[in-house]
Structure 1
Amino acid sequence: MIKIPRRKPLLTSTYLYEYRNAIYRGELVAGRELIIELDKLIREYDNPRYYYDTHDAYLRMEFMEGAIKLTKSPYYGKPMILMLWQKAFIEVIYSYKMSDTGNDRFKKVLLLIARKNTKSETCSGLGLTEGCVGNEGEDIVCSSNDDSQANILYEAIDTMRLMIDPKQKDTWKNQKWIKIKYNGSKIFKLSDRTKNKEGRNIDFAIIDEVHEMKDNVIVKSIEQSQSLKKNPKLILITTEGFVNEGFLDEELKKARRILNDEDDGVSAERYLPWLYTQDSESEVWEGNRENRLWEKSNPTLGMVKQYEYLEEQVDAARKSKADRAFVLSKDFNFKVSNVQAWLEHEKLLQNRVFDLEEFRGKICLGGVDLAETTDMCAAHILLMKPNDKTKYIYSHYWIPQSKLNNSDDKSAGAEYEEWARKGLLTICEDNEVDIASIADWFLDLYKQYEIRLYKCGYDQRFSKEFLNKMDYYGFDCEMVLQNRFVMSSPMKLVETEITNDLINFNDNEITRWCLKNTAMQIWDTGLIMPIKAQGMSNKRIDGAVALIITYEILRRYRSEFMGAL
């Protein structure tokens, strides 16, 4: 066996021990999963299979604190002063060695940490440091699911580099990579969209935002490229996300098996899970500055991430399901499905009605969901009264004759014939809805009640005949695209107003049915849009979509509309 020279420090002098002891004394707050890992690492300190040498770790931390400056406001240009959690994290990655080879123990690292806790800045600094003080000729990669995210790490590294070497005497950058002149190391980007991902020879890789990955293509490509390396490093950094059954879900299963000693294979001992998580959801709603429970998933809270910001986020989450799902995932690392229930059904049990005579001679805003001509179509008008925040919604629906006996619709709660008898629904002859007749409905409202349509929102699909008729009548229409970028804000506004009893939909049974059937799909950006709830493919959401479109028109023309009441 090769005799490896050891530089083992006293356990009590390590940042690992200092970090765990600070948590034990209550100076810092951590969740159960992190504490389990720290305790395991401390127990393994005397395991003869490993030894602990802090030289490589301290060399990197000294460079980070002595040379690197931060790139983000309000800390731009200030020295990188590592927090205790960062020191313990870096120390463990580089200090645990395999006794038989002297190689680093940990090849793969998973850092799960809530947003705005310096994960990208920390790893950008570590990537530049590896290029500058690591082995000669290293290939260092900034990677992510897409080019834009990988570019965040890469540009941060480049900004840090130029602060150290503004005249580029020791480093330079071309279109392919950043080159460290004095040791031949290169830093470059790689994403899932990069061509020719295979055939590379990577030493050190940081993969950001892995929660967005549906599969392990980019990760596997990097792992395979490290197969010849003695001390490869693959660091995965992420918050929780909304991709169901994606790469992160599988990776966290592995990590938690390791934490719970359910996986003791060779690959398990070379994998370091470092998870900042809450112990229960109740800690989110009970947390505050005094009990510091939020620090379990936010280790920089009060130092970098601000309590005031997180208090605002939690307050918004109490009021909105969309905000709740986003905050639980991004600020507290709870796994949340990307499809969530939207509205509290109790709020839809209103029996408030109004008479259109109350609005004779007034103006209104409109919105339609034309869907397919062989399916249900919906139209709403939105009315208001002076000094009254309530939005009064008057609606009508259309279906083709062929839908009347659709057993799937009936089993989903559709009562088309009953609704038609009540005047809520028009049954169109043949197998299609006459889209032009929807324009006639707006005209009839003007003829009967002198209610003038100011603006009407529509989606571009199936709209040609409708638009021609609306133009003929002199009604002004505006396109509202049905995508998350457009629909998110008005959908959140509808939820808020229904929650606060500010929408009176005239006790319309079809509107209520459509709202109950609607779920929301959530993206990592916090954007949402309406979809049918899982298992409800036979339930209609046309009335909900039309209402959201109407609210988007209200958002665009609120001032003009309110001024004309």
Structure 2
Amino acid sequence: MTSKPLLDMNYTELTQWWNAYREEEASWGAYLKEPAPVVLTTIYAQLLAEGSIPASKENISAAKRHLHDLERQGTDAFPWIFDEEKAHRPIQFIEEKCKPSKGDFDQLVLQPWQHFVIGSLFGWVHKDTGVRRFREGLVFVARKNGKTTLISGLANYMLGFDGENGARVYVLANAEQQAHELFDESKAMVEKSPYLLKKFGKPQRNRILFNKTFSRIEARASDSKRLDGLNTHLGIFDEIHEFKDFKLINVIKKSRGARKQPLIIYITTAGYVLDGPLMDFYEIGKSVVNGIEVDDRTFYYLAKLDDLEEMDKPELWIKANPNICLMDFVNLVNDWKKDKKSPQERADWVTKQFNIFSDVDEMSFVDVATINKNNKVLDIETLKGRECIGGYDLSETEDFTSACLEFPLETGEIFILSHSWIPLARFDRDGHQERL
């Protein structure tokens, strides 16, 4: 390894560094080329806790939470125990029975972080009843980290191999199309696996059935017309960063009553909706893993960069991208060196690749950093009589009416004077002046 910053390396140097890095990671099990013979949940937690694998502060805390729970498992104060066989069972199923629908791979190989997620969700059970500890789980990771493949395989497991008669597995999203993307992956896995195809039969267009236990997988969305009468065994919310309210989430939560050990998984990247359900879950998750709040029934995995300075340290990108060893890292670094110069491209990287919440999306003209850099003060009286360019946007119903004046200055800079107004009817309806 070299001390030269990765962003300063040329293509050849970076390729050499990356090949050496991957081999080193593989040599001690941080990167798996073939399925592990045992569940790695606790091993991964130890690696994070001791700092062997870079991880977000929240995931280090989540790892320490797991290790602390092992020390007190099976006590009167903490009646949960970690069953390694139950933890490994769904992992083995995905690796042995589910076939990847994309790429040139013949077999799925779950990585240590995926062992931690699935092993935690299924391995922690009540010491007397054997019922699963976790009823909900938030899996918060950057894009292209195998979320869809992982959860699609898990959906097939819960359909026919979790011992639940009449299991209802719902793939859920903000819109029908998004829900079907994950459902279609589960469907493709069945169609490519001779074992599952024989077990379940050929999937239908909108559902996968397991007639032996009267179970099925279906896709549902917030814009679905039929949301009543659900009976959830597993609910998978895909990309909940797009959700603006709890409507569908509450429907699914309330549909678990008849189930012995239902599970809801929220799997997502960061997003731009800063007042939606994801932000609430995320803030609660940080408090739980840090021991500020107590919630023994919800699992959290929060993979993200800890601050914006780490964006220029690709060796730390694994914090947000635990599947980094399976990515085209060299081209990823080169793309970042180019894209970060554009505010729009940079905003997308911040949110989707580094998994940091942002109030600036890919449609924004400038990002917050650029605005702050140009946040200068000018006496408005000096603008009197100056030439300017004006523009306005009139509201039709409840949106803002806005007007803007741009003043070219002698320095080559442009002073912008803008103002927005909200309709009185909306103000009266909301009744919360502090929100405006």
Q: Give the TM bin, normalised by the shorter chain.
A: 0.7 to 0.9
1:334, 1:203 → 2: CA distance?
31
Alignment of 1:107 onto 2:131: no
Q: Which amino acid aligns with 2:57?
A: R
Alignment of 1:328 onto 2:353: no
Residue 198 of structure 1: CA displacement? 2.3
CA deviations on 1:450-488 (whole Å, 9 max, x unpaired) are: xxxxxxxxx9xxxxxxxxxxxxxxxxxxxxxxxxxxxxx
Residue 299 of structure 1: CA displacement? 0.6
Residue 537 (structure 1) aligned to one of 420, 424, 428: 420
Alignment-derived partner of residue 300 in structure 1? 323
Question: What are the residue-to-residue correspondences of 1:2-81 with 2, within 5 Å?
Answer: 15-23=40-48, 28-47=53-72, 48=75, 49-72=79-102, 74-75=103-104, 78-81=106-109
Structure 1 contact 97–105 (Cα < 8 Å) conserved: yes
1:192, 1:118 → 2: CA distance?
24
Alignment of 1:117 onto 2:180: no
Alignment-derived partner of residue 284 in structure 1? 311
Alignment of 1:210 onto 2:233: no
Residue 222 of structure 1: CA displacement? 0.7
Residue 15 of structure 1: CA displacement? 1.6
The alpha-carbon distance between structure 1 residues 249 and 167, as it changes in their structure 2 partners (threshold 3 A), is closer
Question: What are the residue-to-residue correspondences of 1:41-440 with 2, within 5 Å?
Answer: 41-47=66-72, 48=75, 49-72=79-102, 74-75=103-104, 78-135=106-163, 136-165=165-194, 168-170=197-199, 171-264=201-294, 268-285=295-312, 287-288=313-314, 292-303=315-326, 305-338=327-360, 342=366, 344=370, 415=383, 418-419=385-386
The alpha-carbon distance between structure 1 residues 246 and 312, as it changes in their structure 2 partners (threshold 3 A), is farther
Structure 2 spans left out of the alignment, 5+ residues: 1-37, 394-405, 422-436
The alpha-carbon distance between structure 1 residues 22 and 221, as it changes in their structure 2 partners (threshold 3 A), is same
Structure 1 contact 214–246 (Cα < 8 Å) conserved: yes
Percent identity of equivalent pairs: 23
1:81, 1:243 → 2: CA distance?
33
Q: Which amino acid aligns with 2:420?
A: S
Residue 24 of structure 1: CA displacement? 5.4
Alignment-derived partner of residue 17 in structure 2? none
The alpha-carbon distance between structure 1 residues 278 and 196, as it changes in their structure 2 partners (threshold 3 A), is same
Structure 1 contact 124–156 (Cα < 8 Å) conserved: yes
The alpha-carbon distance between structure 1 residues 321 and 51, as it changes in their structure 2 partners (threshold 3 A), is same
CA deviations on 1:154-213 (whole Å, 9 max, x unpaired) are: 000000000114995432333441102333220000100111312210101111000010
TM-score between both structures, scaled by the size of structure 1: 0.58
Residue 308 of structure 1: CA displacement? 2.3
Residue 411 of structure 1: CA displacement? 9.4
Residue 340 of structure 2 aligns to a residue whose secondary structure is helix
2:138, 2:371 → 1: CA distance?
40
Cα root mean square deviation, aligned: 3.4
The alpha-carbon distance between structure 1 residues 345 and 23, as it changes in their structure 2 partners (threshold 3 A), is closer
Q: Which amino acid aligns with 1:281?
A: L
The alpha-carbon distance between structure 1 residues 341 and 100, as it changes in their structure 2 partners (threshold 3 A), is farther
Which stretch of structure 1 is more off in the superposition, 149-158 or 190-199? 190-199
Q: Which amino acid aligns with 2:42?
A: Y
Structure 1 contact 317–324 (Cα < 8 Å) conserved: yes
Which stretch of structure 1 is more off in the superposition, 165-174 or 36-45? 165-174
Residue 316 of structure 1: CA displacement? 3.5
Structure 1 contact 295–301 (Cα < 8 Å) conserved: yes
1:255, 1:149 → 2: CA distance?
25
1:117, 1:39 → 2: CA distance?
23
Residue 247 of structure 1: CA displacement? 1.2
Residue 319 of structure 1 aligns to a residue whose secondary structure is coil
The alpha-carbon distance between structure 1 residues 412 and 189, as it changes in their structure 2 partners (threshold 3 A), is farther
Residue 45 of structure 1: CA displacement? 1.3
2:371, 2:142 → 1: CA distance?
31
Residue 107 of structure 1: CA displacement? 0.5
Structure 1 contact 16–38 (Cα < 8 Å) conserved: no
Q: Which amino acid aligns with 1:283?
A: E
Residue 29 of structure 1: CA displacement? 2.3
2:181, 2:267 → 1: CA distance?
13
1:68, 1:220 → 2: CA distance?
31
Residue 51 of structure 1 aligns to a residue whose secondary structure is strand
Residue 311 of structure 2 aligns to a residue whose secondary structure is helix
2:358, 2:88 → 1: CA distance?
38
TM-score between both structures, scaled by the size of structure 2: 0.74
2:51, 2:372 → 1: CA distance?
43
1:58, 1:309 → 2: CA distance?
34
Structure 1 contact 19–88 (Cα < 8 Å) conserved: yes
1:336, 1:121 → 2: CA distance?
26
CA deviations on 1:86-117 (whole Å, 9 max, x unpaired) are: 11211111111123532100010000001111
1:175, 1:307 → 2: CA distance?
37
1:412, 1:110 → 2: CA distance?
49
Residue 16 of structure 1: CA displacement? 2.0
Structure 1 spans left out of the alignment, 5+ residues: 1-12, 349-409, 427-432, 434-458, 460-504, 518-531, 539-565
1:60, 1:345 → 2: CA distance?
48
Residue 37 of structure 1: CA displacement? 0.7
Ranked by relative contact order (alpha carbons within 8 Å, sequence separation 6 or more), the top structure is: 2
CA deviations on 1:387-415 (whole Å, 9 max, x unpaired) are: xxxxxxxxxxxxxxxxxxxxxxx997895
Structure 1 contact 329–336 (Cα < 8 Å) conserved: yes
Residue 294 of structure 1 aligns to a residue whose secondary structure is helix
Residue 231 of structure 1: CA displacement? 0.7
Structure 2 contact 97–196 (Cα < 8 Å) conserved: no
